Amino acid sequence: MRANKIYANIDKRVIAAEEIKVLGSFLFRVGARADPGKVKAIAAWPTPSAGYAELTRPLLNRLEKDADWHHNTFDVIKSLQHAPVLALTDENKSFSVVCDASDNAIGSVLLQKDEE
């Protein structure tokens, strides 16, 4: 490791753990899941009240005249706390990249078909 200038802190080692926390996620043998402590804040979000939409840029277009507001939009955001477990990739299978963009954001996802 030193030849490649990679160093490890011996005090932070974890041996034979069922699950470890890495960069805000929990990794385990078959995949990864979100840190429950981080998603707890989503569950605690209050229902939007006067002025809330002004603080959230992605929802600003809902303020336009005659724009429809659907409470399920807020419920969809809150549903992120129940995100599925992410599976580990199989280097022997092909990958697909899907990209999307709008006036407010861009995004992409790396996909791999799972037979299960």
pLDDT at residue number 55: 47
Apex 40 CA angle, 23 and 70, nearest 5? 115
pLDDT at residue number 10: 85
Domain holding 50, by residue range, is 35-84
pLDDT at residue number 99: 92
Q: Please count the structural domains in the chain.
A: 1
Task: State pTM to two decimals.
Answer: 0.36
The tokens describing 94, both together, are: 């092909």
Flag whether 110 is in a domain.
Answer: no
- pLDDT tens digits, 62-88: 667 776 666 666 676 677 667 666 778
Flag whether 76 is in a domain.
Answer: yes
Flag whether 16 is in a domain.
Answer: no
Flag whether 25 is in a domain.
Answer: no
Flag whether 115 is in a domain.
Answer: no
Flag whether 107 is in a domain.
Answer: no
Q: What is the DSSP string of 45-98?
A: PPPP-TTHHHH-GGGGGGGSTT----HHHHHHHHGGGGPPPEEPP-TTS--EEE
Positions of the chain with pLDDT under 50 = 50-55
Coil, strand, or helix at residue 31? Answer: strand
pLDDT at residue number 60: 61
